[in-house]
Amino acid sequence: QAKSEGPGKWTMFDSSMHQRVRERVDIEVDLRKALPAETSDGSAVSPQLHLAYQPIVELRTGGLLGAEALIRWNHPTRGAIPPGAFIPIAEDTGLIAKIGRWVLRESVRQLAEWRRTGTVTDDFWVSVNVSPRQLRDPHLPDVLASTLTDYGVPPRVVVLEITESVMIDASAVTDEVLRQMRELGVRIVVDDFGTGYSALGYLRRHPVTGVKIDRAFVRGLGVDAEDEEIVRAVTAMSSALGLTVVAEGVETPTQQGVLAELGVVMGQGMLWSAPIGPARFGERWSALRSVPALPPGSPVVPS
Ligand code: C2E
Ligand code: MG
Ligand code: MG
Ligand code: MG
């Protein structure tokens, strides 16, 4: 009871609490206004919400493999608000349902456009973050399936990123949703792997195809022997289970080198690129431009 600690304490407690609650309500109200309006053709436009794309590359060569779609909110008066400041509120208030559907649709639409224009290769994939609450919606597999059909995108080039908590608290509905989506043919990876409490058993019990090693363990590589042991263990375990591994938050060539030695094949991080808007992504990473010109005098190899 804060009140019994004296009026001064009460006031301090009350005002900071009040401020926090108010901040959350402000965000909720503004987020509601930022929600994309659905248009008659089923597409949805939002002047405030955008997706940025961060390349996922082959760790040794830096060659483009896929990209993670990350939501961006450009607030009319407050400017950019990071997802960490509004996604949890969207989860609590249920707004995530609408936001999540928009993220899914917009990322699949963008992927279809890149595929059509030859900007990306046939195997290039887009990873989409799916929050725990979305996975409790039994309609999600159908929504995903029709989105893919609408844009003519094959399921094998879509990856869903789920959190460890989803596997730990999984309900019958979530289990069924995950199973149906995996059956559809999309891949499912566990994001921020190692930060929760999941064990090998969880990975085996759920239809996941890979893990993303949290950047907390990537940070210390080359300096902290313990981080190296954790990454080594995760890599060994994943390879035994036939799971793919992406290292996230790769910032330095040292980290890249240690990861490659440990057998990690894929990476994502500032070393290669920050998350960037789709136009810039197309310019910088286009498959149309990455075909290297043959050096003069090189033998012509029949293909
Ligand atoms: P995440 O899915 O683990 O995404 C990776 C985060 O690491 C991104 O932060 C990215 O900008 C950041 N990052 C990338 N490379 C580096 C690096 O080299 N160093 C460091 N320090 N950070 C790096 P961001 O965009 O702020 O997103 C934060 C989290 O918000 C995401 O973490 C994800 O959990 C959530 N989120 C983002 N977009 C969505 C979305 O569309 N739906 C849902 N449900 N969650 C989202
Ligand atoms: Mg992610
Ligand atoms: Mg992550
Ligand atoms: Mg993360």
Q: How far is the CA of 145 from the centre of ligand 2 (A)?
A: 21
Q: What are the residue ranges in the chain where pLDDT is below 50?
A: 1-4, 301-303
Q: Decide if 66 contacts 114 (C-beta within 8 A).
A: no
Half-sphere exposure of 39 (CA within 13 A, CB side): 6
pLDDT value at residue 6: 52
Per DSSP, which regions of the chain are E strands?
37-38, 44-45, 49-58, 64-75, 79-81, 125-129, 158-163, 187-193, 210-213, 244-247, 266-267
Q: How far is the CA of 191 from the centre of ligand 4 (A)?
A: 7
Q: What is the rounded CA–CA span in Å between residue 183 and residue 24?
A: 38
- Give the nearest ligand 1 atom to 83 CA: 30
Closest Cα to residue 246, out of 217, 225, 226? 217
pLDDT value at residue 1: 42
Q: What is the rounded CA–CA span in Å between residue 67 and residue 128?
A: 9
What ligand is nearest to the CA atom of residue 212?
3
pLDDT value at residue 175: 94
Q: How far is the CA of 216 from the centre of ligand 2 (A)?
A: 14
What does DSSP assign to residue 127?
Answer: E
Q: How far is the CA of 283 from the centre of ligand 2 (A)?
A: 23
Q: What is the rounded CA–CA span in Å between residue 242 and residue 82?
A: 34
Q: Decide if 161 contacts 183 (C-beta within 8 A).
A: no
pLDDT value at residue 298: 55
Q: How far is the CA of 70 from the centre of ligand 1 (A)?
A: 6
Q: CB burial class (10 A; 0-12, 13-18, 19+) of residue 39?
A: exposed
Residues with CB under 6 A from ligand 1: 54, 70-71, 82-84, 87, 103, 129, 131, 161, 191-192, 215, 248-251, 269-270, 275
pLDDT value at residue 7: 54
Nearest CA to ligand 1 atom 41: 71
pLDDT value at residue 46: 79
pLDDT value at residue 2: 44
Question: How far from chain centre, in Å, is Cα 75?
Answer: 21
What ligand is nearest to the CA atom of residue 130?
1
Count of residues making up the chain: 303
Q: How far is the CA of 248 from the centre of ligand 4 (A)?
A: 8
Nearest CA to ligand 1 atom 13: 249
Nearest CA to ligand 1 atom 46: 129
Nearest CA to ligand 1 atom 6: 249
Q: How far is the CA of 153 from the centre of ligand 1 (A)?
A: 24
What ligand is nearest to the CA atom of residue 127?
2
The structure's pTM equals 0.91
Nearest CA to ligand 1 atom 24: 83
* DSSP H or E stretch at residue 291: none
Q: What is the rounded CA–CA span in Å between residue 272 and residue 59?
A: 10
Q: How far is the CA of 191 from the centre of ligand 1 (A)?
A: 10
pLDDT value at residue 3: 46
Instruction: Tell me the helix, strand and coil percentages in the chain, rounded to 5.
Output: 50, 20, 35
What ligand is nearest to the CA atom of residue 82?
1
What ligand is nearest to the CA atom of residue 161?
2
pLDDT value at residue 10: 55
Closest Cα to residue 71, out of 40, 42, 105? 105
Q: What is the rounded CA–CA span in Å between residue 53 and residue 275?
A: 5
Q: Is the dihedral of CA 13, 17, 18, 19 positive or negative?
A: positive
Name residue 162's beta-bridge partners.
Answer: 190
